[in-house]
C-alpha cells in the first residue's frame, strides 16, 4: 500500500517500484488522501485551458485513472479536501475544512479501514517532514504512522474491520542529495546542462536522510514516466523531472530508494526489496496476531506543523 497526499504523487515517488511489484504479481494499492482540487496547473501548455480551470477536481480524477491504468495498480480515494500550498510572509491560514486541518481521528480511521480491507504487508508514505513541507504531505505522514500502529490493534477503531498489522513501513526517499549529485555530475560529464545546481545549493541546511532500501527498478522507468505524464496538468514535459534520460538513470542510479521507519520483522540497512525479512509462509499469521515492533526509527519533524 502506497499512501500519498495528492493524485500525481504516486507517479513521482516510488512509481517504478509500484510497476515492478505489479509485474511480479503483487497487488499494490495506491491511496490518495485528497483529490488535489487546489493544485496549480503546472504544464504551461494547459494553464489557460477553460475546461481544466472550470473543473480541475474532475480533471485530476481523470488523470489519476489514466496513471493507475499505466501502473497497473489498484487505487482508492480517502476522500479529504486538498489544502493547497499557501505562500507569503506571514503565510496565510489554511482553508477551513481542508485535510491538513482535520483532527487525526477521522483520516486515521479512514486509512485503518483501507488497511484492514486490503491487508498489505508493506506500507509506504512520506517522512515526518512530508518529503517537502507541503501541509498535506506532513499530514499524510501523521495519518499513515497512526494508522500503521492502530490497524493491528483490535481495541482501536473496532468498527473499521478485522485487525491487520502491516509488517513494515517505509518513507519514500527518491529526492536526496546523493542521487541529485549523481544526476548533476552525469549531465555535466556528458556536456549537458543540469537543472540541479540550484536544488543542491538549497540543500546546505538539510540533513541527509538514511537510505536503507534500494529497489532495482530501471526496467520500469519508462512506465513511471508515462504515468507521470498522464497527470498532464501537474507536470511540465520539459521540466526537471525529465532532465535525465532513462538510459542515463539506468546507468548511474537504477534504483528507487526508501527509508525503513518501522518493522515487525528482522531486517537491516542494506535491503533491495521492500519485502525483505517477510516470510511469505508466516506473513498472514504475523499480521493477524499481535507482533512485537522490532524497529522504530522515527524521528521528530524539523518542519513545523501548518496548524
The binding site consists of: 6, 9, 137
The answer to whether the peptide bond before residue 16 is cis (omega within 30 degrees of 0) is no
- Maximum Cα interatomic distance, the chain, rounded to a whole number of Å: 60
Dihedral-angle region of residue 274 (phi above 0 means left; psi in -120 to 50 means alpha; beta otherwise): alpha
DSSP class of residue 41 equals -
- State residue 74 phi and psi, 5-degree precision: -90, 165
Q: How far is CA 175 from CA 55, 118, 215, in A?
A: 31, 28, 15
Report the binding-site residues for Zn(2+). Answer: 6, 9, 137
Name the one residue in this structure whose C-alpha cell is 527509508.
Answer: 259
Q: CB of 92 within 8 A of CB of 108?
A: no
Give the Cβ contact number of residue 201 at 10 Å. Answer: 8
What span, in angstroms and rounded, lies between the C-alpha atoms of 82 and 97?
9
Amino acid at each position: 500500500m502506497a499512501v500519498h497526499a495528492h493524485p500525481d504523487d504516486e507517479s513521482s515517488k516510488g512509481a517504478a517500484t509500484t510497476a515492478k511489484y505489479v509485474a511480479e504479481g503483487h497487488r499494490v494499492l495506491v491511496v490518495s488522501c485528497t483529490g488535489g482540487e487546489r493544485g496549480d496547473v503546472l504544464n504551461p501548455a494547459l494553464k489557460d485551458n477553460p475546461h481544466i480551470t472550470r473543473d480541475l477536481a474532475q480533471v485530476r480524477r481523470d488523470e489519476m485513472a489514466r496513471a493507475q491504468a499505466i501502473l497497473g495498480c489498484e487505487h482508492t480515494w480517502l476522500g479529504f479536501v486538498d489544502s493547497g500550498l499557501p505562500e507569503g510572509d506571514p503565510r496565510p491560514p489554511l482553508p477551513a475544512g481542508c485535510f491538513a486541518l482535520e483532527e487525526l481521528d477521522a483520516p486515521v480511521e479512514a486509512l485503518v479501514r483501507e488497511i484492514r480491507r486490503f491487508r498489505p504487508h508493506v506500507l509506504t508514505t512520506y517522512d515526518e517532514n512530508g518529503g517537502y513541507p507541503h501541509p498535506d504531505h506532513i499530514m499524510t505522514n501523521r495519518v499513515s504512522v497512526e494508522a500503521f500502529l492502530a490497524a493491528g490493534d483490535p481495541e482501536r477503531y473496532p468498527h473499521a474491520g478485522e485487525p491487520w498489522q502491516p509488517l513494515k513501513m517505509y518513507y519514500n526517499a527518491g529526492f536526496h542529495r546523493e542521487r541529485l549529485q549523481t544526476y548533476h555530475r552525469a549531465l555535466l560529464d556528458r556536456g549537458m546542462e543540469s537543472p540541479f545546481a540550484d536544488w543542491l545549493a538549497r540543500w546546505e541546511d538539510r540533513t541527509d536522510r538514511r537510505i536503507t532500501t534500494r529497489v532495482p527498478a530501471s526496467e520500469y522507468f519508462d512506465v513511471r514516466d508515462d504515468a507521470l505524464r498522464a497527470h498532464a496538468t501537474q507536470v511540465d514535459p520539459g521540466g526537471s523531472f525529465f532532465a535525465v534520460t532513462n538510459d542515463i538513470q539506468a546507468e548511474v542510479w537504477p534504483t528507487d530508494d526508501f527509508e525503513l521507519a518501522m518493522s515487525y520483522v528482522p531486517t537491516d540497512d542494506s535491503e533491495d526489496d521492500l519485502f525483505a525479512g517477510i516470510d511469505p509462509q508466516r506473513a498472514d499469521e504475523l499480521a493477524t496476531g499481535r507482533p512485537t515492533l522490532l524497529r522504530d526509527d522515527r524521528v521528530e519533524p524539523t518542519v513545523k506543523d501548518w496548524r
